[in-house]
Amino acid sequence: MRTRTVLAATFAALVLGTSAAQATPPGPGVTAKLLAQWTIGDKDYFLRELTIPQGQSTGWHYHDGMVYGLVEEGTLSHFEATCASDGVYHKGQVIQEGPNYVHIGRNLGDTPLVLKALYVLPHGAPFSEDAPNPGCDFQ
């Protein structure tokens, strides 16, 4: 248990010390680069860098575990399944997403959005699970 806590703290420090979800299908040009990964017990830990071009989105999705993101460049506009904004995150700000929370991340700014994201997922779970548009007039 102590090893798991130390490694989770190390990942968090790595994410916060550098300067958030990607659905299927994300918008054109959305990319994700795997920076690090390991498994401890029944949890998989992944550190990824996500880039979302201007005007694109992650697509509607949810995660089976926790995701912690840091905005490195640009602005993240985050929306929940009610179609309401649940936050706008700028460079240097951190976002946290819990399990089974349907949402979409959008780049409504005029520059590429770059996020570092730490995923803490049940072993073998995908990075995200696709979700249908809940009835919002945007994708």
Residue 131 lies in a domain: no
Provide the pLDDT confidence category of residue 139 given band limits of 50, 70 and 90.
confident
CATH number for the domain that contains residue 97: 2.60.120.10
CA distance 52 to 74: 9
- Count CB neighbours of 79 within 10 A: 20
Residue 65 lies in a domain: yes
Provide the pLDDT confidence category of residue 53 given band limits of 50, 70 and 90.
very high
Per residue in 24-49, is it b (16+ CB within 10 Å) or e — as a string?
Answer: eebbeebebeeeeeeebeebbbbbbe
Is pTM beyond 0.75 here? yes
Residue 137 lies in a domain: no
Q: Give the pLDDT of residue 21.
A: 40
The residue range of the domain holding 91 is 2-123
pLDDT in tens, 68-81: 999 999 999 999 99
Contact predicate 41/82, CB 8 Å: no
By the 10 Å C-beta count (0-12 exposed, 13-18 middle, 19+ buried), 101 is classed as middle
Residue 138 lies in a domain: no
Is residue 40's pLDDT more than 90? yes
Could you give the number of structural domains in the chain? 1
What percent of the residues of the chain are helix, what percent strand, and what percent coil, each to the nearest 5? Answer: 10, 45, 45
